[in-house]
Amino acid sequence: MISWRAIAVATLFTAAPALLAGEIPPDARRSGYTFMGPDTRAMQDDDTTNPGMLFVLDGEALWAKKTGSASRACADCHGDARSSMKGVAARYPSFDKSLGRPVALDQRINLCRADHQQAAPLPYESRDLLALSAFVAHQSRGIPITAGDDPQAKPFVAQGRALFMQREGQLNLACTNCHDDNFDKRLAGAPITQGQPTGYPLYRLEWQTLGSLARRLRSCMTGVRAQAYDYGSPELVALELYLMSRARGLAMETPAVRP
Amino acid sequence: MAALINVPSKAKRGDIIEIRTLTSHIMETGFRHTADGKLVPRDIITSFACRYNGTEIFRADLFPAIAANPYLSFFTVAKDSGKFEFEWIGDNGYSTTASASITVE
């Protein structure tokens, strides 16, 4: 009898960490904003001190500017972004039927440039691409994230989740080891967040510029001494998609400010 | 280049008002090197000035240690309705201006 109880207790204790680890329940999901100090929060909250708004302004100008051999502006098809782009970024990365895979917002902008404007693609992390992405995503500010709800995207969400759970690099760490299991603690001086991608592209004070979620993921991979995936690689898009689906229900903040 | 200016649109005569400015600039220090060892040339804003109805009320010199997209905030006394003019001058002939108007009652 006693031995049975001991086994039961032992089973419970070995099973408990496995139950505690893993996904964050919806009501416990928190934006990176809640991990920041009051000064950085104030910087994000006021549109005249948020440096990300400079990119949004540039993006607004690009939206209306005719470009490519088709000599068309984004506005010529999409009209006023305030209505046509509202809520769009909250659904990205989104499944593209013709490509048969999900595409991120910056990739969608480049596809649009190629297909409808006959313009050269903008390089990843270039000022113009970030500005356009920020302008489009800004129209979704305050709207809850719903990316990954599309049934066709589910296999890619699963792929992203597998990558999130997979240990990598010389430090042999998976994303989940910090961002599911140890958020609210500190890594040296910096708070460990849940890694919810609510405000991309966002202004990172460390970068002194706006950057995409792909750039943030790549710098985390370099941090664990892993070889980072290339910009635009399917693995990065799958990770972005999983992260967005993991942040389901949180409000968009673009352009966010982060330390 | 984009600039964000925050000046209250209305104020009472004699009020102390805050003016906030934010402008796009990379503020490259001139101390950094590329991966292949070449020095990245300095490219910063060197001076900022604010004129209130033509009179200079604030001026600042900027240096390489100042972060990208410089944010400057300062105070002045609202005297007359009119225009604030802002000017940023920097390396490589960089120059940009912005303005904002105020109604003083």
Q: pLDDT at residue A11 above 70?
A: no
pLDDT computed for residue A15 by the predictor = 47
Percent of the residues in chain A that have a pLDDT greater than 90, as a whole number = 89
Domain boundaries of chain A, sorted by first residue: 37-258
> Which CATH superfamily includes the segment(s) A37-258?
Cytochrome c-like domain (1.10.760.10)
Judge: A58–B24 Cβ closer than 8 Å, yes or no. yes
Per-residue pLDDT tens digits for A76-122:
999 999 999 999 999 999 999 999 999 999 999 999 999 999 999 99
| C-alpha closest to that of A90 among A148, A40, A34 | A148
Domain boundaries of chain B, sorted by first residue: 3-104
User: Cα dihedral sign for A94, A98, A100, A103?
Assistant: negative
* Alpha-carbon gap, residue A211 to A105, rounded angstroms: 13
Residues in contact with A129: Cβ distance below 8 Å, sequence separation at least 6, in sequence order: A106, A109, A110, A122, A123
B73 contacts B57 by C-beta, under 8 angstroms? no
pLDDT computed for residue A150 by the predictor = 94
* Alpha-carbon gap, residue A241 to A162, rounded angstroms: 12
Report domain B3-104's class.
Answer: mainly beta
pTM of the model: 0.89
pLDDT computed for residue B2 by the predictor = 81
Cis check for the bond before A25: say yes or no (omega within 30 of 0): no
* Alpha-carbon gap, residue A111 to A84, rounded angstroms: 18
Judge: B69–A208 Cβ closer than 8 Å, yes or no. yes
A53: left (phi over 0), alpha (psi -120 to 50) or beta: alpha
A74 catalytic residue (yes or no) = no
Per-residue pLDDT tens digits for A22-45:
688 989 999 999 999 999 999 999
Judge: A57–B68 Cβ closer than 8 Å, yes or no. no
pLDDT computed for residue A23 by the predictor = 81
Per-residue confidence of chain B (105 residues) as pLDDT tens digits?
A: 689 999 999 999 999 999 999 999 999 999 999 999 999 999 999 999 999 999 999 999 999 999 999 999 999 999 999 999 999 999 999 999 999 999 998
A51 and chain B in contact, CB less than 8 A:
yes
Give the residue on A whose Cα is nearest the Cα of B4. Answer: A48
Per-residue pLDDT tens digits for B16-34:
999 999 999 999 999 999 9
Q: Please identify among residues 10-29 of chain B the ones whose CB lies closer than 8 Å to any CB of chain A.
A: 20, 22-24, 26-27
Residue type, A111: L
